[in-house]
Each structure stands twice: as C-alpha cells, then as structure tokens.
C-alpha cells in the first residue's frame, strides 16, 4: 500500500520519535511511505526547537502568528496535492495540528481516505500554556479537522472522550497508544555496566527522562535523596527543559550536588544505555490525556516505575503488577511510593518484570501500531473502492 504521511512538525523531540518510528514500522511491513512535511524537519538535530518558527512565535502578535499558521495550511495543501498527483497514494495519514486543515482539504478534493492521528487537544493545550488570540477560529479548526477524518486515532481513551465531545462518532475512533521498539532497549534496568559507564557504579539510581517542566515536581526527588539514610541513592536526570536550572540549584542548596546528575540532551540511539542505569524510573506527574513516550522506554527496560494513579496511566499500567501508582492529590503519596521501592529490591524486580511482560502481552510496540494502522487503512481503501467515495460521511464544524 502507498501511504502519504503528512505532518507539520519541525521540532526533533518526542513528536519526531513518534513520526519516525511509525514510518519505519510501516516501511518494515512493506508499505511505500511518501512523507510530506516541513522541509527543515529532516535537518534539525534531535532535541532542537523549531528554529525560525519558535522565534516567530515568541516575537509576533499572537493573532498574526495564528493567521500565519492557517496560511501555511494553504501552502501545505498545494504540496499535498502535488504529491498526490505525483505518487498516487492509496490513503492519507496525517498527524493533527492546530490551524492545519490541509489534509482534510486534500481528502475532500481527491476522495482519498484520511486517517488522522491525534496526540493532544491543542486548543485547550495552547490556551493553557501560550494563550490563543483567535480562540473561536481555533475551536472551529480543531472540530472541523477532528470530524473530517475517516478514522481518528487518539493516543488515549481520555483523549477519545474529547473527540466524542467534539462530535466524532465512536465508529470513527480507534485508540492507539504510543509504543516502543524493543530492539532499542535490550539492556535491563540496574545494568552494572550501564551504571559504571556513567560513573554510578554501586549506586541505587532514580531516573527521569524527558523535558523537565516545573509541574513535574522533580524537586521532591531531590528531597528524598537529601534525606535518605542510604547514601548510595542517586538521582539521574536525562533531558533538558525550563525546570533544570532550579533543580540544579535545589541539589546545591540541599548539599547533594554529587548525588544528582544531569545528563542533558541524549541522542535517541543512546537513550537505552541511560535508562538501563535506572533502578527506579519516575513519572512524577502527567498531562491528563497524554501517552508518555518515556513510560514505554521505562517498561521495555524493565524498570520499577512510580507513576500517578490517573486514568490515562491506568490505560497502560496496573498498580502492584507493573508499577507503583500513587494518588497525586494526596500529600506525600509520591514520596511514600518512592521510598517503598527504594527499600524493597524484590518489589523492584517483580514490578520491572511485570512491565516487560505488559509490553509483550499487549503489543505496546511500534510494530504492532503499524499493523493496526495497516488494518484500518486496508478497510478504508476497500470501502472506498466499493462505494466509490471515502468511507463514512464527514461533519464539518463552523467558526464560533
């Protein structure tokens, strides 16, 4: 099958991991993938921000920037149509973005089926973090695109609820969580060689990977390290972000600078070597609708995981089986779960083994995700051939 994969992602971060891993898995299954996306995407280094786009977002008025986003959709539509004429794909697969109806326009123009991947409710997310000047236009854009897909793939059931509330019927929603390539994570948690390579031999390592934000509450981990009787306890942070400077300052204030390490940005090829040094992997907080990539990395490595007891986390993990889940609303619950794991090596081993089994038994891999996408695409293409039109009527929203 020939699949046209369309996206607007320039940053080389977790979004890029999802894009590249799914494309690779689809290609491995024998599909011909034609990628249409920002020309600069392939040139960015991993961890880089979106270059000039990030600069414009900071400097121009919000309304002007949002209109420019919608204007870019017209440019993307022209590129999509050119790619469709050249490559004659069977189906369009698009990664949803705000003010980005290009894929919907192309699907309507050509009659090609459209699979839409949704990883976040971007109107709510942008309004909360950056603010939206053209909120009504943004809501219309989001609803129109969500309702326009022949099949919509949210990454969690929580996010599927947002789609239903926006008018997307259950018949056009399939939840597909993020995944993992187990071949990248063959080493197991607490690996002595991995620890030695980082100068952490003989340490009990608490680990976190990803973009550090203040709401993660990572300073609580520094408090645990500072107050622990076990002086071998060490906190390893892999990644970067706005909370890093304060965390470094907190480690210095508490006198544990030598027991807290910041690895900074790490290339994807090396991340497994760092996670293998973890004994306990941390997800101290989570966005309510997210499917955190780090969670699958932790699981595949066999880490004992501490994570919040939220609906989206419970879609993947079970308390006492493959993780310790804590009530994020209860003061001290995160610390209690962490200290319990620090004191119980047998529990760490059992939960880590359970996490590996969960990956295997539930097929939480990019390969399985690609198989499911292939199955959906085949159904939609077959329905189009039978009916002569894309499968299922589309409902289009209106500005409000």
pLDDT at residue 400, as a whole number? 32
> What is the model's pLDDT at position 357?
97
Contact criterion met (CB below 8 Å) for 270 and 293: no
Model confidence pTM above 0.85: yes
List all residues 6 or more positions away from 36 whose beta carbon is below 8 Å from its beta carbon: 4, 5, 6, 7, 76, 79, 80, 83
Weakly modelled stretches of the chain, pLDDT under 50: 41, 43-48, 390-400
Q: What pLDDT score does 55 carry? A: 65
- Set out the domains of the chain in order of their start, with CATH numbers: 2-179+365-387 (3.40.50.2000), 182-362 (3.40.50.2000)
CB 166 within 8 Å of CB 140: no
pLDDT of residue 365: 98
Residue 399: the pLDDT is: 35
- Report pLDDT for 40: 52
CA gap 74, 164 in Å, rounded: 28
Identify the helix (H) or strand (E) that includes residue 133. none
Q: What does the pLDDT look like over 262-291, one tens digit per residue?
A: 999 999 899 999 999 999 999 999 999 999
pLDDT of amino acid 393 = 38
Strand ranges in 119-232 using DSSP code E only, listed in sequence order: 151-154, 204-209
């Amino acid at each position: 099958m020939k699949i046209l994969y369309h996206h607007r992602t320039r940053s080389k971060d977790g979004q890029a991991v999802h894009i590249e891993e799914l494309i690779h898995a689809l290609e491995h299954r024998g599909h011909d993938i034609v990628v249409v996306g920002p020309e600069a995407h392939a040139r960015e280094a991993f961890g880089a921000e979106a270059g000039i786009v990030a600069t414009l977002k900071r400097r121009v008025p919000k309304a002007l920037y949002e209109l420019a986003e919608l204007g870019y959709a017209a440019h993307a539509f022209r590129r999509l149509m050119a790619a469709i004429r050249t490559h004659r794909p069977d189906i369009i697969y698009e990664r949803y973005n705000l003010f980005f109806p290009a894929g919907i326009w192309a699907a309507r123009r050509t009659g090609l089926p459209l699979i839409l991947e949704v990883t976040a409710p971007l109107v709510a997310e942008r309004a909360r973090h950056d603010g939206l000047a053209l909120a009504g236009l943004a809501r219309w854009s989001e609803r129109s695109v969500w309702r326009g897909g022949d099949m919509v793939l949210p990454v969690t059931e929580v996010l599927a609820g947002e789609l239903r509330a926006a008018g997307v019927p259950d018949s056009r929603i399939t939840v597909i969580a993020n995944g993992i390539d187990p071949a990248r994570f063959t080493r197991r948690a607490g690996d002595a060689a991995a620890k030695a390579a980082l100068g952490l031999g003989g340490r009990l390592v608490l680990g976190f990977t990803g973009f550090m934000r203040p709401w993660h509450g990572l300073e609580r981990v520094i408090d645990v390290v500072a107050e622990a009787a076990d002086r071998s306890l060490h906190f390893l942070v892999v990644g970067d972000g706005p909370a890093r400077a304060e965390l470094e300052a907190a480690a210095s204030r508490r006198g544990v600078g030598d027991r807290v390490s910041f690895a900074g940005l790490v290339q994807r090829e090396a991340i497994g070597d760092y996670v293998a040094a973890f004994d306990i992997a941390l997800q101290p907080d989570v966005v309510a609708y997210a499917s955190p990539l780090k969670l699958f990395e932790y699981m595949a490595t066999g880490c004992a995981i501490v994570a919040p007891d939220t609906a989206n986390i419970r879609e993947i993990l079970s308390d006492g089986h493959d993780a310790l889940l804590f009530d994020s609303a209860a003061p001290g619950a995160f610390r209690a779960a962490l200290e319990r794991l620090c004191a119980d090596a047998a529990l760490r081993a059992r939960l880590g083994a359970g996490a590996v089994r969960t990956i295997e038994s539930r097929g939480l891999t990019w390969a399985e995700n690609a198989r499911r996408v292939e199955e959906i695409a085949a159904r939609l293409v077959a329905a189009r051939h039978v009916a002569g039109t894309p499968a299922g009527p589309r409902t289009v929203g209106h500005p409000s």
